[in-house]
Structure 1
């Protein structure tokens, strides 16, 4: 049986949209930092992962949610991909765009 992302802890780390405009850093202490556009640290708060679902609550009280599916974090209409250390940013961005196109083609075929 396939383990959930909660069990594997593979959610930890930095998740970035294919265009690089949105970023979520999920920290081991159940805190996160997020940014959109030019903001490096636009918001921060706590999160909780249950199964393959994530709930966020930022420090101002705003809440949001998302789901992990096939190694992608879907949150607020955005697909975020995990960033791995030691990977060239441009190569990573191109790889994620191609991966996203492939997934969309599978969905809409």
Structure 2
């Protein structure tokens, strides 16, 4: 069991932080492999910390950030599948949903799924 002291992360928070950190490391690796962008470990860690903070403070109002990313789907390498996911939550109604799409190199939908939160 975790310590109840202020500032001590619970098991779920630690697990979530590890998951976010691994996800942002993978994103940085993919940017290096597929887009020849130099890896920036500190940036990956900063983004993971920001994401986990946003996740656990989701009831608080935050400002939208524009990182200059592309919203255009890009095909994966030959014989690969690409998994895209997204989610939304409306504070006013306390309702949200998530969606996942798996597509092949041609952009053909292999599997898709949605769920309400």
Normalising by the residue count of structure 1, what TM-score does the alignment of the two structures yield?
A: 0.29
Higher strand share: 1
TM-score scaled by length of structure 2 = 0.28
Q: Which has the higher contact order (CA 8 A, sep 6+)?
A: 1
Q: Whose helix fraction is larger, Structure 1's or Structure 2's?
A: 2
